[in-house]
Structure 1
Amino acid sequence: MIEARPALDPELAALVAAQQHELRSAAFTPDDDATYLVAIVDGRAVACAAWRPTLDPGIAELQRVYVRPAFRGRGIARQLIVWIEEETLAAGRSIIRLEAGPCSPAARALFQSSGYDQVDGAFVKRVVALVQ
């Protein structure tokens, strides 16, 4: 199950803290413009992702894709990405950009297999509707 969560949700914060620890990145500052998602397995928050509109019309930024290590390899991240693609397209944003930053080989493979091209240090995809 994937559900939207507010930026200050404690389970979301725990997931982001785990991601930051793994990547050794800066502290999390919630973004009020972002839509946050949490994947739930057996009542437990196990993954998260977010997207936010950019200042450029038609473009969205994919953020915070993270799956707890014990739940990787089950397609959860891909489900989150698909959900975000559908939401951004419905919001009139057909281009999604993800800053590459510190990215594992598995994450790079996920984004590339999901149709994202690496352009100038970011992954970019033009999203199209499956049914018109």
Structure 2
Amino acid sequence: MPTWTIEAEPVTGPEIGDVMWQYFTEIAQRVMGRPAAEAELRRALARDPHDDLAPPSGVFLVARGQDGDLLGCAGVRLLPRAPATAELKRMFVRPAGRGTGLGRGLLVAAETAAQGLGATRMVCETNTQLTEARALYEAHAYEEIPPYEGLGRADHWFAKALVRGNADK
């Protein structure tokens, strides 16, 4: 039985800003192999904002522990040039939520949210150093694809057909 819940929340506010900062800090450390300067993190956030992870064409999911602490998040947005395709963004599990199945829970919730937006396909991008992310996507029937319109330092792109009822497989 999970010790967390996942619900859609606004992608605003200081708590969300804090988790986004932690997300970008960890990604930068793992991908670049060194801590990122504050200016670098601010440029990365400006280059790839997350304000579109909100209705009507997106959703931001937040996982909270029984104590209400934010343990993780995942965003979904429809791609403007391919509205039946949703992109998974900002999938992140804080250290306190790791090893609990929360990554899988967030992925399944994101797929369900994408279907609710009308998507029939989910895409995402990641980096070689993010081995846990790649393993999670592959374990859930995502297949590697050529680059789409993603941003950043990605070097792996994945896609999965979303068929009613397959979000939990």
TM-score, structure 1 as length reference = 0.89
The code of the aligned residue for 1:86 comes to T
Equivalent residue for 1:51?
Answer: 76
Deviations 1:41-69 (A, max 9, x none): 02100101000011213100000000012
Does the 8 A contact of 1:5 with 1:12 survive in 2? no
Mapping 1:17-96, distance limit 5 Å? 17-24=21-28, 26-27=44-45, 29-32=49-52, 33=54, 34-41=58-65, 42-55=67-80, 56-96=82-122
Q: Which runs of 4+ in 1 moved over 4 A?
A: none
Equivalent residue for 2:152?
Answer: none
CA distance in 2, matches of 1:31, 1:99: 18
CA distance in 2, matches of 1:103, 1:62: 18
The code of the aligned residue for 1:35 comes to V
- Percent identity, please: 34
Give, in angstroms, the shift of residue 123 of structure 1. Answer: 1.0
CA distance in 2, matches of 1:46, 1:11: 11
> Cα 1:93–1:102, aligned 2, differ >3 Å: closer, same or farther?
same
Equivalent residue for 1:110?
Answer: 136
The code of the aligned residue for 1:54 comes to L
Equivalent residue for 1:10?
Answer: 14
SS of corresponding position for 1:8: coil
Give, in angstroms, the shift of residue 101 of structure 1. Answer: 3.6
TM-score, structure 2 as length reference = 0.71
> Cα 1:106–1:30, aligned 2, differ >3 Å: closer, same or farther?
closer
CA distance in 2, matches of 1:127, 1:72: 26
Give, in angstroms, the shift of residue 5 of structure 1. Answer: 1.4
> Cα 1:76–1:123, aligned 2, differ >3 Å: closer, same or farther?
same
CA distance in 2, matches of 1:124, 1:103: 19
Instruction: State the aligned residue count.
Output: 131
Give, in angstroms, the shift of residue 16 of structure 1. Answer: 1.2
Show structure 1 runs of 5+ residues with no match.
none
- Which protein shows a greater Rg? 2
Equivalent residue for 2:165?
Answer: 130
RMSD after superposition: 1.8
CA distance in 1, matches of 2:8, 2:129: 24
Show structure 2 runs of 5+ residues with no match.
29-40, 147-155
